[in-house]
A = this chain, B = another copy of it.
Amino acid sequence: MSRYSFLNDYSVGTHPRILQALTTLNMEQQEGYGNDMYSNYAKELIRERINNLNSAIYFTSGGTQANLIIVSSALRPHESVIATNMGHITTRETGAIEATGHKINVINKACGKLNENDIIRVLEAYNFGPHVVKPRMIYISNSTEIGSIYKKNELKKLYRFTQANNLYLFMDGARLGAGLMANDSDLTLGDIAKYTDVFTIGGTKNGALIGEAIVINNDELKKDFPFHLKQKGAMLAKGRLLGIQFQELFKDNLYFDLARHANTMAMKLANGIVKNNYKFLTNSSTNLIFPILPNKHIDLLEKDFIFYRWKKIDDDNTALRLVTSWATEENKVDDFISHLK
């Protein structure tokens, strides 16, 4: 690729420290299937960081895999999961949830987030069982698929509501780093462990080669979880690959530093775009931004950059999706902005 890519946050390999760790530990013999010492240590590190020594932690190679295992292991056959129309499980996973037998109850929300009133409306609409499915889990993303984030108070209220209504709250953290490191975020990893039943910590989109951590806080959801990992093909013989990466990401602040860089680059891009008097399709304080630009400018930008044309706004303007990552080079951001002028 000779053009610089703002397509996504997974276009390069991994942070050099991770490659270094893989190299250093390469020839140590270890047990298989996630019982290696690196995986165990990485779990300890995360448990300390979330301030919950009772959480059960597992690593998977991808996000769709993590999502489908979490949902299918938690629900009985007649139970469903509520998500927004933008939810990754709703739109980008080729029916992975339905393939395990479960309906997704979709709520249209332009902001990409759910609140307790949204859930109430679904519960009322589904109040005539056994002729309809029984909503049992709430799926949210942080940051969301359009870059928005949950505030601590929002998450807390949502969790209390789910607790009071016999619902599980599941936060997809494929971009959890970006969500937590947003300037306007008041959430900590500990808050998320406190106010969800289960969540994921995305590695793939935040500097790992591959890998997501599944963190289960609710005892009910822990039971026999490894069976589900194995059955769905997610238990790697060489679990060490995932353990080493998460060990490296969490033995200090690397995970957070990488996410902060991605956000900083996105905000720099956004500021440059604002200064050129362009608007945005959504509010984002994270590493996904959606500027609305004139098509003729976009044509020119595409000579040097790659990105998604996200949505046609009118005949002359289109909203783009620009994504930054831990690896985004600041001078490329500067280039993009100077091209705008």
Q: Would B10 and A19 count as touching, CB distance under 8 A?
A: no
Whole-angstrom distance from the CB of A232 to the nearest CB of chain B? 7
With a cutoff of 8 Å between Cβ atoms, the chain B residues found around residue A209 in the complex are 22, 238, 241
Option from B14, B26, B33, B231 in Cβ contact (under 8 Å) with A95: B231
Q: Would A232 and B16 count as touching, CB distance under 8 A?
A: no
- Interface positions of A from 65 to 80, Cβ below 8 Å from B: 65-69, 72-73, 76-78, 80
Cα distance A204–B33 when bound, in Å?
12
Q: Would B204 and A61 count as touching, CB distance under 8 A?
A: no
Interface size on A, residues (CB 8 A): 79
Q: Would A26 and B30 count as touching, CB distance under 8 A?
A: no
Whole-angstrom distance from the CB of A5 to the nearest CB of chain B? 5
Whole-angstrom distance from the CB of A247 to the nearest CB of chain B? 14
Q: Would B204 and A237 count as touching, CB distance under 8 A?
A: yes
Could you tell me the dominant secondary structure of chain A's interface residues? loop
How many copies, total? 4
Q: Would A95 and B99 count as touching, CB distance under 8 A?
A: no
Known: A64-B230, A78-B231, A93-B231. A205 touches B29 (CB 8 A): no
Q: Would A13 and B25 count as touching, CB distance under 8 A?
A: yes
> Which of A73, A106, A234 is most buried by chain B, counting CB atoms within 10 A of its CB?
A234
Q: Would B26 and A11 count as touching, CB distance under 8 A?
A: no
Known: A94-B133, A133-B94. A16 touches B12 (CB 8 A): no
CB closest chain-B residue, reference A92 = B131
Name which of A43-51, A156-164, A220-228, A281-289 contacts chain B: A220-228
Q: Would A11 and B23 count as touching, CB distance under 8 A?
A: no
